[in-house]
Amino acid sequence: MKRHFKVSHLALALMLTLGSAGPALAASTSATASVQGTAPVLSAPSNGTLQAVDFGGTFATAGQLSTGDTLVMTYLYQDAEGDADNSDTTVIWSYTPAGGGTDQTISATSVPAAVSGGQGTSTITIPAAALGATAIKVTLQELSATGDPLSGLTINVTDTSLNTAPGGGGGGGSVTPPGPVLPGTNIAGGIFLQSDNPSAGSGAIDYSRTPGLKPQVGKTYVFRAWNDTNGNGVWDAGETDVTATLSSIQWQLNGTNTSASGSSTPTTLSNHAIPGATTDSYTVPVNSASSSGATPGDQGFSLQVSFN
Ligand SMILES: [Ca+2]
Ligand SMILES: [Ca+2]
């Protein structure tokens, strides 16, 4: 008890000392609640639509998205108090795989607006795994680095090729081409002898990249497409087989059959689609079963596969 009394006595002395040291204070109200500003607002630079963004990019095929394409999202950032942009940290790009399943995210490089009234951007490269996906999606939130409130609304774009809800909601005047996503520069295709059992890293000979190596009548060849991550045109170990996600395969005959025409008149074919040859394999037929229209059948022509 004695100790307790001593401390209280000391505290009282301090309070009296502090109180007498300052100037005489006027009367004061109680403090208000904390000062509040407003949430930041995002809009499309192209047309000023609120809670909307614009899209641009580089497209391997005009009018349709392809793997390897670069997509750039741009937004106008405005904050009445001058709080800095932090919306870039909320950006999530994704796609639904062609075969279904859960949405897959796409890594992005996002840059905030430098000032209120400036533009923020987010850039992606469409991955090979997005081949065949119907659409590219992106979400982001109006968010500032400081201020109260920090956040505004969430913008949900379910298809970067649309500029009106429902489905799109991008709202801006600038959109991307539509899906489904075509094979682009990072997808390679090759023609192999079926009995070579081609697979990633198998070293099986690619007849479409081996000049002078002639396919044989009666043999069965297979077409394979893969994610050519190192861009060398070779199906290396670890490069994913994407043949099954293609939307179409078409075997073709090409060229002039001079080497086989003999006493017949040479025939020239340009991307002649072989009827029914739309799967991943083709057995070169004898003359009577050939679609070439030439007397020596498929002999003398080149095989080629177009795919999407
Ligand atoms: Ca603010
Ligand atoms: Ca490769």
Which tens digit of pLDDT belongs to each residue from 220-262? 999 999 999 899 999 999 999 999 888 899 999 999 999 999 9
The ligand with the least distance to the CA atom of 233 is 2
pLDDT at 7: 47
pLDDT band at 197 (very low <50, low <70, confident <90, very high): very high
120's tokens = 């923020």
Which tens digit of pLDDT belongs to each residue from 144-177? 999 999 999 999 999 999 986 655 556 678 999 9
Q: Comparing 197 with 167, which gets the higher pLDDT?
A: 197
For residue 230, report the distance from its CA to the centre of ligand 1, in Å: 45
The ligand with the least distance to the CA atom of 238 is 2
For residue 137, report the distance from its CA to the centre of ligand 2, in Å: 28
Question: What's the pTM?
Answer: 0.77
Lowest mean pLDDT: which of 90-99, 125-134, 166-175, 289-298? 166-175
Which whole number is the average pLDDT over 18-25? 58
pLDDT at 183: 92
pLDDT at 98: 87
Which tens digit of pLDDT belongs to each residue from 36-65? 999 999 999 998 999 999 999 999 999 999
Which whole number is the average pLDDT over 114-128? 97
Which whole number is the average pLDDT over 165-192? 84
The ligand with the least distance to the CA atom of 83 is 1
- Mean residue pLDDT across the chain: 91
pLDDT band at 13 (very low <50, low <70, confident <90, very high): very low
The ligand with the least distance to the CA atom of 79 is 1
For residue 233, report the distance from its CA to the centre of ligand 2, in Å: 5
Cα–Cα nearest to 281, from 241, 226, 222, 225: 222
For residue 43, report the distance from its CA to the centre of ligand 1, in Å: 15
For residue 237, report the distance from its CA to the centre of ligand 2, in Å: 8
Q: What architecture does CATH give domain 41-167?
A: Sandwich (2.60)
CB 183 within 8 A of CB 190: no
Which tens digit of pLDDT belongs to each residue from 202-222? 999 999 999 999 999 999 999
pLDDT at 69: 96
Which residue ranges make up each domain of the chain? 41-167, 187-307
pLDDT band at 307 (very low <50, low <70, confident <90, very high): very high
For residue 35, report the distance from its CA to the centre of ligand 1, in Å: 11
The ligand with the least distance to the CA atom of 86 is 1
For residue 62, report the distance from its CA to the centre of ligand 2, in Å: 25
